[in-house]
Chains A and B, each alone.
Chain A
Amino acid sequence: MAGLNDDAQWIVLMGFVVSTIIFILALIVSQSALVGQTTSESVLEFSKTDIQDLRSEVIFLKEKGHLDELDLIYDLQNLSMGRKTAVVEVDNWTDVVSRTDFVYIHFNDGTTSYSETYEEYY
């Protein structure tokens, strides 16, 4: 290798180093978008009011005795999916032996998933 002309190596190498440094800087700047999620954004993301609203409506239906009407549950599910992009499931059954009514509520809008089995002794 005595006669190999490697004068261009430095230029190529420096070019390579410069491009990788620019790449690292770009990585840092792009991470700033992820790092900077504030409390307000996480509050907005969590659908607390949707879940509270759903619970309140299901308990209202139970109090007025409408939970067995499947058309209503279908309306709930369809509108939830269409307007809130959330999957909702409502189910109810009774255990005669322990005299308890059970209502199962499930809600999932992609970022938050909520399940509850509500028991009421009668």
Chain B
Amino acid sequence: MQQYIIQRVLLNIPVILLVVTFVFFASHIRPDWAEQRAAQGMSSTKDYKEAVQAIRHELGTDKPLWRQYVNYLGKISRGDFGTSFITGHSVTSELRGRLVASMELGALQILISLAIAVPIGVVAAVRQDTWVDYVLRFTAVLGLAIPAFYLGTLLLLLATKVVGWTPPLIPTAYREIWQDPAANLKMMALPALAGGFAEAAVIMRLLRSELLEVLRQDYVRTAWAKGLRERAVLTRHAMRNAMAPVVTIIGLLIGVLFGGNVVLESMFSVPGAGQFIVISLEQSDFPVVQGVVLIVAVALVTTNLVVDLAYAWIDPRIRYS
């Protein structure tokens, strides 16, 4: 296990380095644009060209590319992920509270998707090739096709027209969960449901196919043969093995969820990291976009590493393949 952990961690170092390099080049494709934007604020007093020059000096973009790259690496290793053009605050200070909101939304979505997918996946597998199975599978295929932001729109329509409840869509209505759980959950409810449904489809399909495979194995037949009840066979024998791959897919889903939440957070005014990216993009606040993307990507690489290690710990066969 120790050797496996070391191997996996070492494999991730070049990946993170490449992620950083990629973000670095993306941020240097059009530096002039960014500098001119920044210079606009101070061009009233100085000559415009002089202002651009001053900004270039301040940002360090007048140096050769390799030097800039080294500086960039140094900055990042010190935890400096850039500064907003608009507010002048550092990206990390703005992001701290937002990551909490994003993580809360993601956690809610995973809980909802598991609550939907596990019972449905079990029923579909146990009643394989009956009409129940067909209906559930078709719903899952539909769930895969429907974009989260359309589902969110439909849920909003449904809540307003049928339930007669409209969630607060103004950003100022947001409260952190330990300040005011009710207000927080009101904001989170619809995006959590919309994202949760979409992911439930993926989990349900995987669980169904895994369970079908497990149910055909000898030890399950033994369990049936010794007269165990269906519930005991399913939960104590079959599910344990069928759930292992679901653990891995949840790790991968965190990335997918984050991508989808960029849209959902903007739609439902949840002040998360995804909404931050979109707002910054609208304001052409590129350092923020790139800083946030980098932090999120590194966070996802780390999450996947942890999930991989957890999986190897659950299922020792993985370590030797």
- A and B interact: no
